[in-house]
A and B are shown apart, each in its own frame.
Chain A
Amino acid sequence: MAAEPAASLPYRLTGHVGRRFVQAVEEFGYGAALLVESLYWIVAGHWLNQPVRLRVVAAEMIDIGVSAVPVVAILAFANGGMMALQGIYTLQDFGAQSQVIPGIAMSVTREFGVLIAGIVVAGRSGSAIAARIGTMNMSQEIDALRVMGIEPVRYLVAPMLLAMLVMMPVLAILADAMAVTGGGVITSLKLHMALPVYFDRALAELVPSDIGQGLAKSFVFGVLVVVVAAGNGFIARGGAEGLGRATTRSVVLCIAAIVVADMIFTLFLSR
């Protein structure tokens, strides 16, 4: 049989792009199916004698949320401080340094608080969830669950989703508070302003919808982290190397998904 003619570069390139596109659509569909199935078990599990156990949800809340508190607090505090420094430096040319306070208050509550919380959770839990489910997959633990009559999505993913839906908003509010405080410490030092005065002004500038925007985003970020990380865990193949790849991919995709979702949100909510 004659050898097939060599594929030209544009042909191979188009083929590669096409395959990646199909793979991306497939993974998107898989993630959506994971989300729908998790929600199904959360709602209907009780009637099917497969309830989502609150004990497991509580354990996940500690793992996903409580353990992330120190990192979120430090990062948000430092970020608020940096925003204050840069804001004062930029605004002093116009003699409007004091306008840094509404700037910090609004950008933190609408944008950066939840973004910091999301990125920390994506880094911590995005890798941990993918690694845990991937390891279970490779050591046949997922098969063991299924043959025991325990649905893996109900037992593993649904509790994570519930825990995330509770803890992401909490972490987002913590990040808001710490970032505003960080900004306040720097502002009070630089502008010789008492902290209570700073807080009074910051709070006066905020309306409930500012915080609401951040909270709405936090739910979406939480869902994205769970779905992307769990999806990467379930499709992990190829031993330790495959697991490492899936974990890294999970973190990168979680952060990318959060940033893109944030941009889309901001686009619509800032109109």
Chain B
Amino acid sequence: MPQRTSDSSRPVIEVEGLRASWGGQPVLHDVDLSVEAGEIRVVMGGSGSGKSTLLRYLLGLHRPDAGTVRLFGEDISRLGRRDMLALRRRIGVSFQGGALFNSMTVGDNVCLPLREHTRLDEHTIRIMSRMKLEVVSLAGFEHLMPSQLSGGMVKRAALARAIVMDPDILFFDEPSAGLDPVVAADLDALILRLREAMQVTIVVVTHELDSAFAIADRITVLDQGRILMTGGVDEVRNADNERIRNLLTRTATDTEVDVDDYLERLTQGVGPQ
């Protein structure tokens, strides 16, 4: 069973040669990634770059076609059910849409991991969940249903649920997506505060440049399922790579069209026989 104490010199997340495909289409090509303990790593890329897919593999939601994903030194595709459950208690995830359980109040959402994984009495569970709601500035909202919250509040409630078990790694999927710039900046500040307060390793998947530059220790740029570079904020800002420059300067990429290929794609299977 994975132990709570891990080798501090070893990266908490190690990905080697990860290959993945959806419906026969390859989406990740030999991805290598290494995240140190206490680091805030941003995985940045445009739509369809494979960053959300990479996150799903880091969370162990799918088995890779090839390669390994190690969390706390454990190859997660080789872990048994019991060990995987134990490992998952050490990670917290804030999904893009929050993924709060709509049939439960905000308070019950935050209490759920404690109720399921601990033998604490109900009073203690309530107090602990309120402490986490205080951290995300949602104290007093625990009786509301998720449908009664604004977009920013949903993200913060999801974050409260993600940190309620005091995880060692926190994953964020597009934390700023759909939020106005002020609320997004608040959330960035909250992520930084959490790292200071909890000494947690944070992985953020996003396409929001401002957010990425504001919070990242290091940024991994993903494009068409391949890692273009990993480096500090300034390194990425000054990168020469054309694809990265396009991403940073919001420049549309021109794709050269092969006329024969184009016609074949249009007419395949529908032409006169």
Contacts and interface: CB of A to CB of B under 8 A. Distances in A.
Contacts of A141: 99-102
B61 A147 contact: yes
A95 interface: no
B144 to A, nearest CB: 17
Interface in A1-59: 1, 3-6, 48-50
A210 interface: no
Interface stretch (B34-42, B110-118, B180-188, B251-259): B110-118
Contacts of B264: 1
Contacts of B112: 148, 150
A25 to B, nearest CB: 20
Interface in A134-149: 135-136, 139-141, 143-144, 146-149
Contact of B89 (A6, A140, A149): A149
Q: Classify chain A's interface size.
A: 20 to 34
A144 B159 CA distance: 12
Most central of A139, A148, A155 by chain B CB within 10 Å: A148
B99 A149 contact: no
Contacts of A150: 112-113, 116
Interface in B250-273: 264, 267-269, 271, 273
DSSP class of A's interface residues: helix, strand, loop or mixed?
loop
B268 A148 contact: no
B85 A139 contact: no
Contact of A147 (B91, B100, B268, B273): B91
Given A3-B268, A139-B97, A140-B97, A148 B273 contact: no
B85 A50 contact: yes
B3 to A, nearest CB: 16
Contacts of A140: 95-97, 99
B59 interface: yes
B61 A139 contact: no
A132 to B, nearest CB: 8
B102 A139 contact: yes
Contacts of A3: 267-269, 271, 273
Interface string B126-152: 000000000000000000000000000
A89 B84 CA distance: 66
B88 interface: yes
A144 B99 contact: yes
B82 to A, nearest CB: 6
B93 interface: yes
B102 A148 contact: no
Contacts of A48: 81-82, 85
A141 B269 CA distance: 39
Contact of A139 (B84, B99, B117, B271): B99
Given A3-B271, A141-B102, A149 B85 contact: yes
Contacts of A136: 101
A147 B93 contact: yes
B85 A147 contact: no
Contact of B88 (A4, A135, A149, A155): A149
Contacts of B84: 149
Interface in B164-218: none
B59 A147 contact: yes
Nearest to B116: A150
Contacts of B99: 139-141, 143-144
A139 B95 CA distance: 10
A57 B65 CA distance: 38
A135 B102 contact: yes
Interface string B76-88: 0000011011111
A149 B117 contact: yes
Contacts of A151: 85
Interface string A110-154: 000000000000000000000010011001110110111111000
A141 B93 CA distance: 12
Contacts of A4: 269
19 contacts: A3-B271, A49-B85, A49-B117, A139-B102, A141-B99, A143-B56, A143-B99, A144-B93, A144-B95, A144-B101, A147-B88, A147-B93, A148-B112, A148-B116, A149-B88, A149-B113, A149-B117, A151-B85, A155-B116
Interface of A: 1, 3-6, 48-50, 132, 135-136, 139-141, 143-144, 146-151, 155
Among all A-B residue pairs, the 3 with the closest Cβ atoms: A149-B88, A144-B99, A140-B99
